[in-house]
Structure 1
Amino acid sequence: MATITTTTSTPTPTPTPSATSTANVTKNAAQSILTSLNTGSGVDTASLVSSLVQAQFAAKTAALAAKNTKLTAQISAAGTLKNTITNFSTALGSLTAGGTLQSQPVSSNGSVLSASAISGTKMGNLSSSVTVTALASAQGARSAAVDSRTTPIGTGKLTLTLGTATYNTAGTAMTAFTAGSTAAVSIDVTNGSIDGIATAINAAKTGVTASVITDQDGKAVLSLKGTTGSAQAFTLKADTAGSPLEQFNVGVGKGTLTGTAANAKLTVDGVDVQRSSNTISDLIPGVKLQLNAVSGSAVSLTSSRPTTALSQAVSDFVETYNQVYASAKDMTNAITGDLKEDAAAKTLLRSLQGLTTKTMASASAVGAPTTLAQIGIATNRDGTLSVNTDTLNKVLAAYPDEVEAMFATTSSNALGLNSSLSGISIAASSSLSGLGASTARYTKAQTDLTSEQDKISAQSDSMNTRLTQQFSSMNSKVSAYKASQTFLERQLKAWEQNS
């Protein structure tokens, strides 16, 4: 199982200015007024207004910035945690679907008979003997050659009927036919070329397929092929006597056959059986057979247990679980966690903590394990997991089917580990109650903050304009007062000099 590495960074929050720092800005602004007035050079309006506006809105701006930083961290943490559990579930699903954690059948002669495990089923200790005496075959037929694929031959209706048939010794002609329970199918031929006839037959979807083959002389031949099994023989008949379509008739004494419909015949552990296909899944529990050739002697089937692979899978699961758990625990830490108040993150953590005691398989015998804890996966004091190798080996030896069942694929085992982890992942990703919903909530809150910041910016601009106008007017008056003062001072000096 792939190791999942997660990295989260917690931005350092911007401290909210205290009342003292805000007062200092105001004090400095006031001092700037006095200093400017004493100099007699006028007020530095741009600097003064900037300082006053900053003092007015500094606390609100800093508070919004701090909230935005927190929301950004929450959005990042929620996305990271959701991806982490999803990747964990996907990795486990890929591992179980690969078939390496399931017992596999072994054929002594793969050229005659190959076998594979049916996913999600219990095969047990396999020991069977199979002799293949005949392969399943399909009826085939060919028409006489015509000069062109596209030249119109005739239009009308053909009727195709499925059933059972007997054939001559060479298998080239049908000697008898009995219709089956499936209703005959009427095929409407509107494009009367041989290509059009093939298209019409295929469109009927009866299980009989048609193709057009060009022979060595450049002429076209209609080839028909049914499906395997003795009940899949077929006849094809033009509805109208004397129709040009009659040259494509297939039936008793009509048409040239290229194959006959027959069942596969084999002997399984001394019992003679027949099947309509060479792929058989209902003879040996948990095993799919593929018949490849007739055998001169019996083929033995045994099984190979994936003990080593299961043991490794348990270790890999525990290692990856611990990484995911550590990430979830860190993010929900009551003091430092970015998701310490997030209900979905806390639910995910609790779900992970409950995996070892959750039922993962049905008990097939007294004492058979049904939980991860019973196969040797223990929960440590800090919440992480560890593997008791001795316990695991004993359980694998005594109850291999039950351990395999715990790791079976989701579709075949609703109780298994794969299903359980998949359920946790789906719940965590939910846009209604999971981390998906949390992300949407944090994102909306961040959007609302942007709107608040825009309002503050508008208010700041308005105050800036107003103060600039006020101080500009004041500056003009002060300048006028200073001009009058200068005039009076000069007059007084002139009077003193003349007195």
Structure 2
Amino acid sequence: MTTTSGSSIISALGAGSGVDFIKLASDISAASFAVQRQSAETRRTALEAQISAAAQLRNAVTGLASALGERIRGGDLAPRAEIGNPAVARVSVPAGFSPRGSFTLEVTQLARGQTLVGKSFASRDALVGEGTLTLRFGTIDGASFTADVAHPAIDIAVTATDTLATLATKINQASGGAVSAYVASGTGGAQLVLKGREGAANGFVLEAAGAGGAAAPGDLSYLGWDPASDAGELRQSAQNAAFALDSVAMTSATNRVTGLPGGFTLELAATNPGAPTTLAFASNSDAISGVMNDLVGALNEIVGQMNQLAAPIGGALGNDSGARELRRDLAGLAGRVVMPGAATGEPRTLADLGLVLNRDGTFQLDSARLGRALADTPDAVAAMFSTGVAGVFATVDRFARENSLVSDPGSLGGSLRRFETQLATNDERLAAIAEQQEALRERLTREFVASEKRVAASQSTLAFLRQQVDIWSKSDR
């Protein structure tokens, strides 16, 4: 039991009424605020249940939109590319793009980088000579070189202790991948091999300023090269890829070609001059059917949670405006316009893709209707599964955002914010009740201690008077 200064004084006096006033003060203060405290605690429990339910529904809705977006961005819904001669090129479709139609492809030249094999040294550890080696980039045409002013030259400081091997390392570090270098040791000795990036503009020359000034092994000038003085060091010239798409001539600095119609990408692998191959894109019907089935399943999970959490009797959100709005939005989801710009006869809504609302609020997929849409308008259906401003994902994402918007008091997000605000207010009320109860307990304790002191003083006076009376009585005998 807690001991106060008042109770200590009473014990020291050895007197009192025998009543535990400390406990009495605590019990009275607790009883005085019991109804208010119980009401606030009950309200807190209810608000926590509402917050949990609203957050669960909101997370289910936003999770649906997020999962659908990842599915579409992942690329498995993109049209499948079919190429007549797969040895010529590989075709890929980045997430979010939906190329259509067919094309012809004729590759007459592949992109490649320059390969330069330097003059021979005795070994990879041979000293190359002190000086500066400069790499200049540009276009090589026969014996002429035209520098690319947009590609700055690279100066490499070479010390007297640098070998052919350490020079290769310095070139790799200084060029940042523009040129890769290594030492090849063959029958002709050790040679520095330099390979540039793909593309005609990535050709390069070597300007070597050696300290000795003599182009011999051991002097850096021995490694200098330009096309006018080539003596067989140039093993492969840099060039662009050349190809024709639907007979339209095109070039590319690399064999990876982007920016093609519909956003598809080509990885050129071989030439086929005079024998164009076909390239066609077909809608991925199986993937679209799978996504629609998954969408129906996810929506039914949300409906199931809604029926439990927002049940009129016993549901934490039974009378919540945000839950009612979500139910209305779910009921109208199948009829939402997904493609406002769809032509006559093309699917415009989720219902056109087979999404059906049952009488009990659940969903099902009309596979026959989806199959007809895929058969009759495959390109239009495929266009609905993209990450653009229109389409299935945009519609579901907008549906999720509308119901999660905390600034809208009529949405599920608005309900969640309202419950959280009410919980904070209720906690403040509980804290105030606790303060008031403690203040009452302290006041009652002080008053009871004062009363006990007065009782103890009266009892002491009474005992003294009894002693005096007894003395007086004895003296009268």
TM-score, scaled relative to structure 1: 0.70
* Offset at residue 163 of structure 1 (A): 1.8
Cα separation, 2, equivalents of 1:380 and 1:323: 14
* Offset at residue 112 of structure 1 (A): 3.8
8 Å contact kept, 2:72–2:96: no
Give 1:386's aligned residue: 364
* Offset at residue 84 of structure 1 (A): 1.7
* Offset at residue 398 of structure 1 (A): 1.0
Give 2:438's aligned residue: 461
Give 2:354's aligned residue: 376
**Given residue 235 of structure 1, which amino acid in structure 2 is its aligned partner?**
V
Once the two structures are overlaid, the 10-residue window that deviates more, 331-340 or 391-400, is 331-340
Alignment of 1:177 onto 2:144: yes
* Offset at residue 317 of structure 1 (A): 0.6
Give 2:116's aligned residue: 141
Give 2:13's aligned residue: none
Alignment of 1:319 onto 2:297: yes
Alignment of 1:420 onto 2:420: no
**Given residue 311 of structure 1, which amino acid in structure 2 is its aligned partner?**
S
Cα separation, 2, equivalents of 1:149 and 1:74: 76
How many pairs were matched up?
443
* Offset at residue 104 of structure 1 (A): 0.5
Q: 1:251 aligns with which of 206, 227, 252?
A: 227
* Offset at residue 318 of structure 1 (A): 1.8
Which deviations, in whole Å up to 9, do the C-alpha atoms of 1:261-309 show, x marking residues without a partner? 2343456566665544323345665543323234596544444442233
Alignment of 1:114 onto 2:90: yes
Change (3 A) 1:232 1:465: closer
Once the two structures are overlaid, the 10-residue window that deviates more, 231-240 or 434-443, is 434-443
Change (3 A) 1:136 1:71: same
Which deviations, in whole Å up to 9, do the C-alpha atoms of 1:10-46 show, x marking residues without a partner? xxxxxxxxxxxxxxxxxxxxxxxxxxxxxx9743435
Any unmatched runs of 5+ in structure 2?
1-15
Q: CA RMSD in A?
A: 4.6
* Offset at residue 360 of structure 1 (A): 2.7
Cα separation, 2, equivalents of 1:351 and 1:197: 66
**Given residue 252 of structure 1, which amino acid in structure 2 is its aligned partner?**
A
Change (3 A) 1:480 1:231: closer
Once the two structures are overlaid, the 10-residue window that deviates more, 92-101 or 434-443, is 434-443
Cα separation, 2, equivalents of 1:250 and 1:425: 63
Which deviations, in whole Å up to 9, do the C-alpha atoms of 1:215-238 show, x marking residues without a partner? 369x87543322323444333434
Give 2:156's aligned residue: 189
Alignment of 1:87 onto 2:63: yes
Cα separation, 2, equivalents of 1:293 and 1:477: 111
Alignment of 1:264 onto 2:241: yes
Which deviations, in whole Å up to 9, do the C-alpha atoms of 1:365-423 show, x marking residues without a partner? 43212221233323445554333333222111111112112112x2xx22122233334
8 Å contact kept, 2:137–2:148: no
Q: 2:207 aligns with which of 228, 237, 248?
A: 237
1:84-483 matches, within 5 Å, as 84-126=60-102, 128-144=103-119, 153-156=129-132, 158=134, 160-165=136-141, 175-179=142-146, 182-183=149-150, 185-190=152-157, 192=159, 193=162, 195=166, 199=170, 203=174, 208-213=178-183, 215=185, 221-238=191-208, 242=213, 245-246=220-221, 247-254=223-230, 256-266=233-243, 274-281=251-258, 285=262, 287-295=264-272, 299-327=277-305, 338=316, 355-361=333-339, 363=341, 365-381=343-359, 383-408=361-386, 410=387, 413-425=388-400, 446=423, 449-475=426-452, 477-478=454-455
Any unmatched runs of 5+ in structure 1?
1-39, 166-174
Give 2:12's aligned residue: none
Cα separation, 1, equivalents of 2:126 and 2:445: 90
Cα separation, 2, equivalents of 1:281 and 1:184: 22
Cα separation, 1, equivalents of 2:279 and 2:266: 10
